[in-house]
Amino acid sequence: MSAAESDPEDAITKEEISGTAPAPANAETAGVSSGTKRNAFTELMSPKTKAPKEEHKTKTLASTRGALTRSFKQRDGLGAYTHDPAAYPPSRVIYHNDDFVAINDMYPKSSVHTLLLPRSPLSRLHPFDAFEDASFLASVQAETQKLKRLVAKELQRRYGKYSAKDREREAVLNGEVEWEEGKELPTGRDWESELLVGVHAHPSMNDLHIHILSPDMMSECMRHRKHYNSFNTPFLIDVADFPLAKDDPRRHPGKAGYMDRDLICWRCGKNFGNKFGRLGEHLPEEFEAWKKE
């Protein structure tokens, strides 16, 4: 099998593997960005200036590669970010340190979709093997929590104004409603608890990466049944579940048949069978209802 050829168990297409699939139209402004600092965290989603007219051509990952990144091709594409994260703009690299790089996914499958990339020799191993190292696993789990908080902050920034739970807390804090003295304040919405977090049981890229994304599945890159099921079945394994038991069925995703399961709405549980088009028509309704919770 060639480096770009799609394996039946891959969660992405061969075009995404090779970096030739079109990036989202709003790729320059979507996701979590570094921007200015606020409350010791990076400000999220800072406004971007309009691209010049000559930039209107549809971009792909391959077309944005410079001389440095051409050596990181096909399934090794994520290695470019860990090799030189400073070479990328804030719209792609959220933050980086000596041990990790956090990026916005080039082909997001939800309205906010980030990846955490360890900068370790162990990151070239399959997650099942890499996470047998207790020290490495602990460091990944700790950094995952950091990125989760950042993504949750972004969801609150985007959608908090629609959320009944967040509006109630803000109304009290702003003095818009009377609140009994000594009574505990409304907690607001726990966006962090709603995130999808984990690694794919069969990674499509060679560098270990942890997905941290919103559950809404709203993205123009959500185009196939395997895209959806890779995040809505046990094919996505939370890093908190590692190390896995030797007999854990998630070690054998092909045998378990996760990618061939019926398409089940992540929010209401409706079964769409193999009708991805019908699910796609349904998801915007759930997205709007979810934002209002």
Within a 13 Å sphere around the CA of 159, how many CA atoms are in the beta-carbon half? Answer: 22
What is the average per-residue pLDDT within 189-199? 98
Contact 279, 228 (CB under 8 A): yes
d(CA 101, CA 116): 6
Contact 212, 147 (CB under 8 A): yes
| Res. 51: pLDDT tops 50 | no
Q: Per residue in 219-266, pLDDT tens?
A: 999 999 999 999 999 999 999 999 999 999 999 999 999 999 999 999
Task: Give me the pLDDT at residue 69, please.
Answer: 45
| Res. 36: pLDDT tops 60 | no
Question: Average per-residue pLDDT in the chain?
Answer: 86
Six-digit token string for 115: 């990846």
Q: Per residue in 12-27, pLDDT tens?
A: 778 878 778 887 877 6
Residue 73: Cβ within 10 Å count: 17
Element containing residue 38 per DSSP (H, E)? strand 37-38
What is the average per-residue pLDDT within 176-190? 88
**What global pTM score does this model have?**
0.83
Task: Give me the pLDDT at residue 56, please.
Answer: 43
Q: Per residue in 57-98, pLDDT tens?
A: 444 444 344 444 446 778 999 999 999 999 999 999 999 999
* DSSP structure class, residue 77: T
d(CA 119, CA 140): 10
| Res. 38: pLDDT tops 60 | no
d(CA 89, CA 91): 5
Task: Give me the pLDDT at residue 216, please.
Answer: 98
d(CA 165, CA 198): 27
What is the average per-residue pLDDT within 107-135? 97
Alpha helices, H only, the chain: 14-18, 79-83, 127-130, 134-159, 164-173, 225-229, 253-256, 276-291
| Res. 113: pLDDT tops 70 | yes
Task: Give me the pLDDT at residue 5, please.
Answer: 57
| Res. 131: pLDDT tops 90 | yes
